[in-house]
Amino acid sequence: MAQNTDVLVGRKKEQIALKQIVESGESEFVVVYGRRRVGKTFLVNNYFKDEYAFKLTGLAKKSKHEQLANFTTALNRYGDGKKYRKPRTWYEAFDKLRDLLERKVSTDKRVVFIDELPWMDSRGSNLVSALEHFWNDWACTQSDIVLVVCGSATSWITRKILKNKGGLHNRVTQKLYLRPFTLAECKEYIISRGLIMEDKEIAECYMIMGGIPFYLKNLHRGASLSQNVDEMFFAEKGRLDGEFDALYASLFDKSENYVKVVEALSNKNKGLTREELLQATKLINNGHFSKILEDLVNCDFIRRYRGYGNNARMSVYQLTDPFTLFYYKFIKGNAPYDKPFWQYQIGSRQHDTWAGLAFEQLCLNHHIQIEKALGISGMATRVYSWVTPSNAAEKAQIDLVIKRADKVVNVCEMKFYDGIYTMKKKDVDDIERRVRIFRSTENVRMAIHPVLVTTFGMSYNQYSHVFQNVVTLKDLFVENQ
């Protein structure tokens, strides 16, 4: 199969939104944001086919002087022969952009794409104020301007643009937040690149890389997943060497504090409360700490959920980013190897322990697919992880709890297994024990239905009756509706 490097996979909702934007009868201010490597720029360029009235990409870690020089180069590239002199301020720069656009005669929308906008905002530059003036004073009064701004620094985009309390307040007409690929989208992308992988291998790939298109793009044909992982993360000068540090540094100012939070959560599978995180990280309990938690939630690195029942008022923070979990379990502290590291890990106890935890996160990230397999996709639900209080006489935990509007609670058991899963008596005893403790601890008065989520299904014997439903990996590959 020929490799296709230009195909746009997934992003159906985003493409529909962009089509509506282009076809609207007014000017549009569009924000495309999401974590590093998730495919923001590729989406915009692929949809608009590089047919821009003006396009600019900000420069990383450069001064205002250098950013304005870069802006001038772009003006002259799209100026149809007119030569613009370098502006001294961002107000002057956007005034020159207005002049350029007024000279453009088109029956279509005039699309302006400013990529990596946060990089352009050096201290005291007044970039946001100048952008605000450009939009409010002129662009929004037109009927055919599409201003698309993009950036990986999600916290900057959120605070400076989406939650702007000044002149840009409520000026954004459309925001597109790009999430990592689902399993279904990972499979579609892998097939589009001519790679041959079975569903279980794709699932393990997701458990390592988290559905990030750029990471998937680094998979080479003709090599197994384990060979690719060695070449990407564990070889000397590997293809993704240093990616973890670059990822967090690109998203957050003072990224070392963000890293302290995710590192603390990587050691606690079921999550930590705010107070427990403060103790683990030694960070100060203030507004900056709240900002760190909010940013990490907004970027899909962690999730915040309320405890079930008696713990409903207590928020718990849980690490949900597969790549970050993989980094702390295997990459951090391991120097590059001249022999295959990951290939030797396959089947080891450490690998199997990680795989079980990573599969739980995969299932949590695909709870919508689990609900669809259970026939409750149209029903109101709440999703939890549950663990007994620290002072409980009997300890128990449940990986995934789905509380349903029809007065049923699904408690899910996740098993990443090489073949058909076979229940044993000890498994039944353990599940029945945890259900009993869960019911009594939380005073549950609803029907509790245990669910098995596993790779290839379950063989039916005298112990399999404990599960009301079985969800397989095939169910998790169903597309989101």
Residue 162, domain CATH: 3.40.50.300
Both structure tokens of 406: 């029809």
Task: Report pLDDT for 257.
Answer: 95
Residues 143 and 277 in one domain: no
Q: With 0-12 CB in 10 A as exposed, 13-18 as middle and 19+ as buried, what is 33?
A: buried
pLDDT the model gives residue 171 = 92
Residue finishing a domain among 157, 177, 197: 177
Distance CA 217, CA 207 (A): 16
CB 216 within 8 A of CB 37: no
Residues of the chain with pLDDT under 50: 1-4
Looking at the fold, whether 285 and 421 belong to one and the same domain comes out as: no
Nearest to 386 by CA among 428, 439, 432: 439
3-state helix, strand, coil in the chain (%, to 5): 45, 15, 40
pLDDT at 106: 80
Are 49 and 112 in the same domain? yes
Kindly tell me the sign of the dihedral angle through the C-alpha atoms of 228, 234, 236, 238: positive
Instruction: Note whether 300 and 377 are same-domain residues.
Output: no
- What are the helix (H) ranges across 269-383? 274-281, 287-298, 322-326, 341-345, 349-365, 367-373
Task: Tell me if 207 is assigned to some domain.
Answer: no
- For residue 300, is it within any domain? yes
Q: What is the pLDDT of residue 310?
A: 55
Of the residues 127, 151, 177, the one at which a domain ends: 177
pLDDT of residue 5: 53
Structural element, H or E, at residue 471: strand 469-472
145-151 and 28-33 strand pairing:
parallel
Q: What number of other Cβ atoms are within 10 A of residue 13's Cβ? A: 10
Cα pseudo-dihedral 87, 92, 98, 100, rounded to 10: -20
Check: CB of residue 192 under 8 Å from CB of residue 1.
no
Residues 6+ apart with CB under 8 A from 259: 248
Is the same domain home to 21 and 170?
Answer: yes
Q: Is residue 315 part of a domain?
A: yes
- Specify if 427 maps to a domain: yes
Residue 437 is part of which domain span?
366-476
Q: Can you tell me whether residue 187 is helix, strand or coil? A: helix
Q: Do residues 121 and 67 both lie within one domain?
A: yes
pLDDT, residue 4, reads 47
- Do 321 and 373 belong to one domain? no
The total of structural domains in the chain comes to 3
Identify the CATH number of the domain in which residue 283 sits: 1.10.10.10
In a domain, 378, yes or no: yes
**pLDDT score of 2:** 40
Find tokens 């795989």 and name the residue. 355
**86 in any annotated domain:** yes
Residue 248's region, left for phi above 0, alpha for psi from -120 to 50, else beta, is alpha
Per-residue confidence (pLDDT) for residue 312, from 0 to 100: 55
Cβ contact 264:273 at 8 Å: no
Pair 22, 74 in one domain:
yes
Whether residue 41 is contained in a domain is answered as yes
Domain stop point among 328, 353, 388: 328
- Domain for residue 188, yes or no? no
Can you say whether residue 53 is alpha, beta or left, with left for phi > 0 and alpha for psi between -120 and 50 degrees?
A: alpha
Question: Same structural domain for residues 389 and 316?
Answer: no
